[in-house]
Chains A and B, each alone.
Chain A
Amino acid sequence: MSERSGRPASGAPRSRFLLGFLIAALVIAGGLSYLASPNPDGLDSVALHGCTVSETDAGEQLDGTCIAQNATESPTARSPLADYAVGGRDGTTGLAGVIGVLVTALLGVLLFRTLGRAGRAAGGPADPAADRSGTRRSTPRPGER
């Protein structure tokens, strides 16, 4: 297996590439997230269309008629990471983001490694380093090889 020596004819070693990818995700979630627009996203904007939002002691109040009035609070709204903050504290978006990146990376790597091994055990591609365009189940297009 060429697991560690995954350097192709060109390009950075795979381990360094993957580390770079992880660092990029950590920097984006941990730092750049502070620059994110606080305005509602596309779906939110549509859901809030027709309502005015005002702050009350009980939270946001929606006046008018809009889709968002039907929204119910998430069952996980009391989660320690709810709303991308740690323990509801201000200024912890970056830390919440870093935790999210690590959790999703861990889940992803574990799931995909397990699936890949299951695939090979079930008679998947024998040589992972080989060009596998011919072994995909989809019909190879002319000129694909």
Chain B
Amino acid sequence: MSHTGPDPQLIVAMHMSDGLVNAPTAAAFGLFAAVALAVCTTRARADLDERTAPMAGLVTAFVFAVQMINFPILPGASGHLLGGALVAILVGPWVGSLCIAIVLVVQCLLFADGGITALGTNITNMALVGTFTGYAVARALRRLAVRSRRGLIAVAFVAALVNTVVAALAFVLEYAIGGAGGATLGVVATLMVGLHALIGVGEGVITAATVAAVAAVRPDLIHLLRGTRPALPVATGDGAAR
């Protein structure tokens, strides 16, 4: 990035930098994230086979790519995909959490995006809270999602909107527990929720469009639709039941 002109992204990049919460808080969330990812690793095995493993790898790369695209939400402010609902719908919550965690680790180590001691909080917010929130919403609305393509798209949108706001609330919680200061908790909570409600709309659109694109060509690879007959209309004419 250029060093001419205002580029505040250079200061804290896309994710939490080191130092925004105190060391004990960072360590506690680091421990939490490590334990949770270990559980995800164990549970993910049952969701991974020769069909879904390559899919999950490419979903990981896709989230990395889309996270680079900051879209404008207000004058002077942007947002980007977090990806929790997207991965939860496509590959399930256990595998999905690992997808986002891979993205965050690569961003932190290679791209200096997000701090190293902040990795625990970043993984907690986006890989764990975001993904499992998105999954919970999608699961609760699954009846609608399996009914029609339109229903699936609506569910993807809502799950993504909610995952964005709840992930933002996870940051508010971390700031409440051990924030390094600089703004009152009330201001942080109000701004985080307000901005992420707007970002959530963008997250919802991207998630819905991506899920719709996958559903158009390979609905059988969508984790949320597992166990259903291929009831969704498919773009190619060869749409007989298996």
Contact = CB atoms under 8 A, between A and B. Distances in A.
Contacts of A12: 217-218, 236
A67 B179 CA distance: 8
Interface string B56-74: 1111111111101111110
Contacts of A29: 64-65, 68
Contacts of A115: 41, 44-45, 48, 53
Contacts of A140: 227
Given A11-B234, A112-B54, 20 more contacts: A11-B217, A21-B59, A28-B66, A36-B80, A39-B77, A41-B70, A42-B195, A44-B14, A49-B191, A55-B5, A66-B183, A67-B182, A68-B17, A72-B17, A74-B115, A77-B112, A99-B110, A101-B65, A108-B102, A109-B57
Contact of B112 (A26, A35, A82): A82
Interface string A109-145: 1111101101110101100110111111100110011
Contact of A105 (B7, B61, B76, B77): B61
Interface string B80-109: 100000000000000100110011001111
A41 to B, nearest CB: 5
B48 to A, nearest CB: 3
A41 B51 contact: no
Given A10-B239, A137-B43, A103 B227 contact: no
Interface size class of A (residues with CB under 8 A): 35 or more
Contacts of A116: 45, 48-50, 52-53
Contacts of B51: 3, 6, 14, 128-129
Given A17-B221, A38-B9, A84-B111, A104 B106 contact: yes
A20 B61 CA distance: 12
B236 A10 contact: yes
Nearest to B7: A38
A32 B218 CA distance: 25
Interface string A74-86: 1111010111110
Interface of A: 1-3, 6, 8-12, 14, 17-18, 20-22, 24-26, 28-29, 32-33, 35-50, 53-55, 59-60, 62, 65-72, 74-77, 79, 81-85, 90, 93, 96-97, 99-113, 115-116, 118-120, 122, 124-125, 128-129, 131-137, 140-141, 144-145
Contacts, number: 354
A106 B103 CA distance: 12
Given A10-B240, A74-B18, A74-B112, A50 B182 contact: yes
B54 A44 contact: no
Contacts of A102: 61
